[in-house]
Structure 1
């Protein structure tokens, strides 16, 4: 059921504290941690604490949490000192777009030049 923790979800296990992560920020509705396979000097994932399989289902059910995720992304950029130079925020939705963990999450990338279009 959407919103409820999923026993087989890596990110739900991180939220519950069963799997360690390098947490950089936490709010009432979100948790942010460093990606274990960074694609830029700063690569942080921001996830909702509630389980939703992708950004679209999260936005449909809890648009306020999407706003919380974007607010946290801005705070992370400021904390990491990449806000002045520029940074990218990305939701990959679906396997064809590169989503590998089916718990909605936003990538915050920065600290180097980022080309467009990506990949």
Structure 2
């Protein structure tokens, strides 16, 4: 069921503390942790604690969670000190866009010139 933790979801397991991750921030509704395959010096994933497979279904099912994820993306950028030089927030939606874990999440990328596509 949408919104409920999924037993086979990697990010649900990270949120539950069942799988370790390098956590950089957490709130009651979000969790932010370092990407294991970083594409920039700063590459942090921000996930909602509720499970939705992608950004579109998250926005439709729990718009407040999208706001929480985006707010935390900004907080991560400030904490990582990339807010002054610029950063990118990316939601990959679907396999054709490069989504490999089907739990909605935002990538916060910074620390290098991001004027070209990632």
Scaled by the length of structure 2, the TM-score of the pair is: 0.98
Q: Structure 1 unaligned runs (5+)?
A: none
Aligned residues between the structures: 118
Is 1:26–2:26 an aligned residue pair?
yes
Distance 2:66 2:3 in 1: 13
Structure 2 SS opposite 1:100: coil
Runs of 4+ in 1 over 3 A off after TM superposition: none
- Aligned counterparts of 1:78 and 1:115: Cα–Cα separation in 2: 20
Q: CA RMSD in A?
A: 0.7
Equivalent in the alignment of 1:72: 72
Structure 2 counterpart SS, 1:3: coil
TM-score normalised over the length of structure 1: 0.97
Question: Partner residue of 2:57?
Answer: 57
Report the alpha carbon displacement of residue 72 of structure 1 after superposing the two structures with TM.
0.4
For the residue of structure 1 that corresponds to 2:59, the secondary structure is helix
